[in-house]
């Protein structure tokens, strides 16, 4: 399904048709933002029909805009090949390497450009940050190493050497992209472009088998693969030429000796890409890599030019700050003349004779201003209309395309009713109307909503050339803003307008078959001296993983019988005879099911092989288990006797909701979800505690449990300790439930008296399905018509005064409690009784480690760090723990970075003021939150990925860890800066703490 054909509908617009006819050399277009994808699609199709099969490079201001544009073009022109050329997460001169995932995506995009043969339209989309960074010759000409099952080729040693040259890192156990490990005849490798790690079994020089495996448990899963492509892990390869140049640069750059020495030895090292200009002088602009016949289009040239200026300024500030830090002992930056980035002028010059187009929201001719509603677009400042902004494509004749954004509708729960009324009016006026959503289920629900309103709606795969009168057409397509074209009498409504919000549909990586087993031993991470438990012989100590030749017993004669190589874990046990060496046990790797990890607290005594001590220990443990079981039976008997609701098995809507989850679930998440559902489907009330760190997926478990309860007509109460968490959970639940007929309401101090009364009345009448609130949910005023599930978030934060209310809520309903730090066992039993417990111990895959900087405070460093985060549309925490001077510090930050919107939060604000500031920051109304340590716990703001801690030497180690944990909760790379006063000497303890945190 797609929106193919939408541009043909718009051909009835005189201005749209004129734009297509005038598409030539260096053309400039002006239209509203919502109409741009359709305009670009129409231009692309017109070029193709005219025999122009060159690639089109679209340059957007930000990576988010680039991604949205790519999705829209793919939906409008499904026959085209679309790709995004990603930007590095790091600045070119920083001694930090871009992630392997980014390198892989860039390599795949460059390959498309290089191999484009004109058989299909090619659209490459890049942010200005990606476009302005020149590309290395290694990246531009990279080719993959291909391994095919059943093929005899190079030896494993040769392949290993090639992987090293391709800048892969050799490790003992593969956990991240860009790593590989070799064990005997097995190669484990995680390629930058691969969704999962790959395990290759060799039989001599023959590739015997290729399979995927999960890095979480190192176990193979899924079907065998016919072949794999291993792309380089870096954009600087460790070729002989590069190694020789690195060695030659050593005398010139003594401050970079450690970096250059490792490169000269063929060792991939963090940050070696910062030396690209010195080691690979032939860096080429992206526009120069376009194949013959290609063209460039700059989308929102004003914003692009403004971003380019900000990028250059941030680069300069970071470089100056890095040199200043180097004088205090930090690593010296890499010397560079141009900060490693091109200017827009240089980028255009590199395009040569290739056409250079622009599409803007600003109209040069005031007579044509009627196409706009007036003023700048959202996100474009007035200043963007002046100066350098108009230098991009200012020689192009501007062609205006008429169109308008949809009228502002009532946000929230009334959005659907308002848009239905809008569509009714348009259909009655004879307009052709289209509704899009990103999932089949959402499209079907939109059709049902329209049918209930008495409107004819039809789901189609492709928009027809002729629309039936009075029919609204629906299709599955990537969402962007809706628009209307009065000239062509066409209106497009996206799911954002129809349902009131956009449902995330990010491409989730393929999910391997998940294993749920016991605490088995994985031999790869074992270190010498680690304790393991053998089922028969007890506690032993791991020595090594070794190989031995053993008779195979295969063959009819003694001469024919050969030997095979087998791997063993060598374990040591206490000596069976005094004064003799320890006994050793050789455990074949195919018998690992007999081993488990030792999880006790203290170092245990080794067991004796075949001795009675292990048997006695097991007997004692069995008795203790029986005693606990008796206690549990008594405690659970009352609850089991209480009647509960047995929820129905999963419905198709439940499967649809879960498939829409934009990330791959962790193994622990899947196990916990299964446990929760199994408990809910039993007639005994559930009482389960889910324990897991922030960001490990507890909220998604609550979402699925709540949805399951609503499917059975039951109400759900989500109890949280703060009003901020009410808003955070409300946003999450609304995003996940968008398009489903679930009525969500908040209940906290932030609701007016009227809103609170409506919520309470709705709970009593049964019209509210899910309520998210603070302790107000525990008051006597709240009555439920049919409460089926209570979810308690951060249970340990509810005081003793809430115990009785919690117990009342728990009678006969299912309870799901969640906590990152459960309270001690005695208090837990006093409040909730013994219950089932699930643990989320596995972090999400592909989460980047937080990059930590410890050094003296510098205004340049602070400004550069904030600007870097703003460039990727992120937010910043700045921690200053003195209320008396916090306003002054906030004013200094506002002066250092005038573009930043700065807010202040501290404990002396009233509770309402404090929560309002934090809510505004969470809603992205501010870029920088200057606060005291009140942000230490309880905040989960995924868009904030930089934290700067002032006077970090004054904090305890635990506080520093907690503060650093405020960032790094998304897929973006996070940065933590721990700064101290350069004019005051550090105490010995402060020095140790900062050394530890770094």
pLDDT digits (tens, 9 = 90+) for 506-532: 444 444 444 444 455 666 667 788 888
Q: In the prediction, which pLDDT does 878 show?
A: 96
Q: In the prediction, which pLDDT does 440 show?
A: 80
Instruction: Give domain 144-230's CATH architecture.
Output: 2-Layer Sandwich (3.30)
Q: How far apart are CA 43 and CA 302, in angstroms?
A: 21
Q: How far apart are CA 525 and CA 530, in angstroms?
A: 10
Q: In the prediction, which pLDDT does 255 show?
A: 75
CA quadruple 556, 557, 560, 565: dihedral sign: positive
Q: How far apart are CA 213 and CA 220, in angstroms?
A: 4
- Which tens digits make up the pLDDT trace of 392-431? 334 446 788 888 888 776 544 467 888 899 999 999 999 9
Q: Do domains 531-633 and 851-997 have the same CATH topology?
A: no
pLDDT at position 567 over 90: no
Token pair, residue 260, equals 């250059």
pLDDT higher at 643 or 280? 280
- Which tens digits make up the pLDDT trace of 614-667? 888 888 888 876 776 665 556 456 555 666 788 999 988 898 888 878 777 888
Label the pairing between strands 483-485 and 490-493.
Answer: antiparallel
| Distance, C-alpha 967 to centroid of its chain | 13
Q: Which of 709, 707, 835, 726 is nearest to 774 (CA)?
A: 726
Q: Is 436 helix (H, G, I), strand (E, B) or coil?
A: strand
The CA R_g of the chain, rounded to the nearest whole Å, is 31
Question: Mean pLDDT throughout 577-596?
Answer: 84
Q: Is 213 helix (H, G, I), strand (E, B) or coil?
A: strand
- Which tens digits make up the pLDDT trace of 292-328? 888 999 999 999 998 888 888 887 777 776 666 555 5
C-beta separation of 73 from 123 below 8 A: yes
pLDDT at position 786 over 50: yes
Task: Give 473's DSSP letter.
Answer: E
Token pair, residue 241, equals 């030429």
Determine the topology of domain 6-134+289-384 in CATH.
Rossmann fold (3.40.50)
Q: How far apart are CA 603 and CA 413, in angstroms?
A: 58
pLDDT band at 95 (very low <50, low <70, confident <90, very high): confident
Q: How far apart are CA 384 and CA 379, in angstroms?
A: 10
The segment with the largest mean pLDDT, out of 161-175, 322-336, 824-838, is: 161-175
Task: Give 608's DSSP letter.
Answer: B
Of 24-28, 364-368, 410-414, minimum mean pLDDT range: 364-368
pLDDT at position 64 over 70: yes
Beta strand segments in 41-190, E = 56-60, 81-85, 122-127, 145-148, 169-170, 179-183, 186-189
Token pair, residue 549, equals 């030749």
Determine the topology of domain 406-499 in CATH.
Rossmann fold (3.40.50)
Per residue, what are the HEC states of 915-951? HHHHHHHHCCCCCEEEECHHHHCCCCCCCEEEEEECC
pLDDT at position 847 over 60: yes
Instruction: Give domain 851-997's CATH architecture.
Output: 3-Layer(aba) Sandwich (3.40)
Question: Mean pLDDT throughout 372-395?
Answer: 34
Of 225-239, 444-458, 506-520, 785-799, minimum mean pLDDT range: 506-520
Question: Mean pLDDT throughout 204-211?
Answer: 91
Beta strand segments in 583-632, E = 583-588, 595-597
Q: Which CATH number fits domain 531-633: 2.60.40.1890, 3.10.129.10, 2.40.10.170, 3.40.50.300?
A: 2.40.10.170
pLDDT band at 552 (very low <50, low <70, confident <90, very high): low
Token pair, residue 965, equals 């944990």
Helices (H) and strands (E) in the chain, counts: 29, 39
C-alpha count within 13 angstroms, C-beta hemisphere, residue 827: 11
C-beta separation of 100 from 124 below 8 A: no
The residues near 900 (Cβ < 8 Å, ≥ 6 apart) are: 866, 870, 876, 893, 894, 927, 928
Q: In the prediction, which pLDDT does 356 show?
A: 92
The residues near 599 (Cβ < 8 Å, ≥ 6 apart) are: 519
Q: In the prediction, which pLDDT does 547 show?
A: 82
pLDDT band at 383 (very low <50, low <70, confident <90, very high): very low
Residue with tokens 């446990």: 675
Q: Which of 946, 913, 910, 911 is nearest to 928 (CA)?
A: 946
CATH class of residue range 642-840? alpha beta
pLDDT at position 444 over 90: no
- Delimit the domains of the chain by residue range: 6-134+289-384, 136-142+241-283, 144-230, 406-499, 531-633, 642-840, 851-997
Q: How far apart are CA 61 and CA 716, in angstroms?
A: 43
Q: How far apart are CA 906 and CA 909, in angstroms?
A: 6
């Amino acid at each position: 399904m797609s929106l193919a054909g939408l541009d043909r509908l718009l051909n009835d617009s005189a201005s749209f048709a004129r734009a297509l006819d005038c598409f030539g050399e260096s053309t400039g277009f002006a239209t509203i933002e919502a109409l741009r994808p359709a305009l670009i699609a129409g231009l692309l199709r017109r070029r193709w029909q005219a025999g122009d099969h060159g690639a089109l490079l679209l340059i957007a201001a930000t990576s988010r805009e680039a991604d949205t544009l790519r999705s829209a073009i793919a939906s409008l022109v499904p026959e085209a090949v679309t790709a995004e050329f990603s930007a590095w997460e790091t600045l070119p001169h920083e001694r930090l390497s871009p992630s392997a995932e980014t390198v892989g995506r860039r390599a795949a995009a460059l390959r498309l450009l290089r191999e484009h043969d004109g058989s299909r339209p090619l659209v490459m989309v890049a942010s200005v940050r990606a476009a302005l960074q020149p590309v290395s010759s290694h990246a531009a000409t990279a080719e993959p190493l291909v391994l095919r099952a059943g093929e005899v080729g190079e030896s494993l040693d040769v392949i290993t050497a090639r992987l090293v040259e391709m800048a892969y890192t050799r490790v003992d156990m593969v956990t991240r992209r860009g790593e590989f490990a070799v064990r005997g005849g097995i190669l484990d490798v995680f390629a930058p472009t691969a969704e999962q790690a790959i395990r290759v079994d060799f039989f001599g020089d023959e590739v015997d088998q290729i399979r995927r495996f999960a890095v979480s448990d190192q176990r193979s899963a899924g079907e065998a693969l016919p072949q794999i492509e291993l792309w380089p892990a870096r954009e600087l390869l460790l070729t002989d030429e590069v190694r020789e140049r690195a060695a030659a640069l050593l005398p010139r750059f003594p401050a970079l000796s450690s970096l250059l020495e490792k490169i000269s030895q063929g060792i991939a090292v963090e940050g070696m890409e910062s030396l690209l200009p010195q080691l690979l002088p032939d860096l080429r602009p992206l526009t120069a890599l376009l194949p013959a016949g290609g063209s460039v289009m700059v989308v929102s040239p004003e914003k692009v030019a403004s971003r380019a200026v900000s990028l250059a300024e941030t680069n300069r500030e970071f470089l100056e700050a890095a040199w200043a830090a180097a004088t205090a002992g930090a690593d010296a930056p890499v010397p560079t003349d141009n900060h490693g980035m091109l200017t827009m002028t240089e980028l255009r010059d590199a395009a040569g004779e290739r056409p250079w187009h622009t599409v803007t929201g600003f109209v040069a001719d005031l007579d044509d201003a009627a196409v706009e509603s007036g003023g700048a677009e959202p996100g474009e400042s007035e200043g963007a209309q002046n100066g350098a902004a108009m230098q991009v494509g200012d020689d192009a004749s501007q062609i205006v395309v008429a169109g308008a954004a949809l009228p502002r509708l009532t946000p929230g729960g009334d959005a659907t009713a308002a848009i239905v009324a809008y569509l009714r009016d348009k259909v009655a006026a004879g307009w052709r109307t289209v509704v899009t959503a990103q999932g089949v289920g959402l499209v079907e629900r939109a059709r049902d909503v329209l049918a209930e309103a008495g409107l004819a709606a039809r789901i189609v795969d492709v928009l027809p050339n002729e629309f039936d009168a009075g029919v609204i057409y629906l299709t599955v397509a990537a969402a962007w803003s809706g628009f209307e074209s009065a000239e062509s009498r066409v209106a497009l409504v996206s799911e954002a307008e129809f349902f009131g919000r956009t449902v995330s549909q990010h491409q989730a990586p393929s999910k391997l078959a998940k294993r749920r087993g016991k605490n088995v031993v994985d031999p790869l991470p074992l270190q010498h001296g680690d304790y393991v438990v053998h089922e028969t012989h007890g506690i032993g100590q791991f020595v090594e993983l070794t190989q031995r030749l053993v008779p195979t017993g295969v063959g009819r004669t003694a001469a024919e019988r050969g030997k095979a190589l087998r791997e063993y874990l060598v374990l040591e046990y206490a000596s069976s005879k005094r004064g003799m060496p320890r006994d050793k046990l050789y455990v074949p790797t195919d018998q690992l099911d007999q081993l488990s990890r030792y999880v006790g607290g203290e170092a245990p005594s080794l067991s004796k092989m075949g001795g009675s001590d292990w048997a006695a220990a097991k007997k004692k443990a069995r008795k203790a288990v029986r005693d606990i079981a008796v206690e549990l039976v008594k405690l659970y008997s009352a609850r089991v006797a209480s009647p509960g609701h047995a929820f129905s098995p999963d419905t198709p809507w439940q499967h649809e909701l879960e498939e829409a989850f934009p990330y791959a679930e962790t193994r622990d998440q899947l196990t916990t979800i299964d446990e929760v559902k199994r408990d809910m489907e039993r007639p005994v009330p559930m009482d389960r505690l889910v324990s897991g760190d922030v960001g490990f997926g507890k909220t998604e478990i609550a979402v699925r449990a709540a949805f399951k309860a609503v499917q059975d007509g039951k109400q759900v109460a989500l109890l949280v300790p703060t009003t901020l968490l009410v808003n955070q959970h409300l946003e999450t639940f609304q995003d996940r439930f968008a398009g489903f007929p679930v009525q969500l309401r908040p209940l906290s101090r932030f609701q007016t008296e009227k809103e609170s009364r409506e919520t309470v009345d709705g709970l009593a009448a049964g019209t509210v399905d899910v309520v998210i609130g603070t302790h107000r949910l525990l008051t006597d005023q709240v009555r439920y018509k049919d409460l089926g599930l209570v979810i308690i978030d951060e249970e340990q934060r509810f005081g003793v005064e809430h115990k009785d209310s919690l117990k009342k809520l728990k009678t006969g309903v299912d309870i799901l409690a969640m906590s990152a730090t459960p309270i001690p066992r005695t208090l837990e039993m006093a409040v909730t009784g013994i219950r089932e417990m699930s643990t989320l111990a596995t972090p999400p895959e592909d989460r980047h480690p937080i990059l930590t900087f410890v050094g003296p405070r510098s205004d340049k460093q602070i400004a550069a760090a904030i600007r870097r985060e703003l460039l990727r549309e992120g937010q910043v925490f700045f921690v200053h723990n003195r209320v008396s001077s916090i306003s002054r510090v906030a004013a200094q930050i506002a002066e250092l970075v005038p573009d930043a919107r700065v807010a202040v939060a501290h404990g002396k604000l009233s509770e309402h003021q404090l929560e309002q500031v934090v809510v505004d920051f969470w809603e992205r109304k501010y870029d920088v939150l200057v606060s005291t340590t009140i942000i230490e716990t309880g905040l989960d703001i995924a868009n904030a990925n930089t934290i700067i801690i002032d006077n970090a030497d004054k904090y305890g180690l635990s506080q520093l860890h907690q503060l650093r944990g405020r960032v790094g909760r998304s897929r973006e790379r996070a940065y933590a800066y721990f700064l101290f006063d350069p004019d005051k000497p550090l105490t010995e303890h402060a020095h140790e703490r900062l050394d530890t945190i770094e």
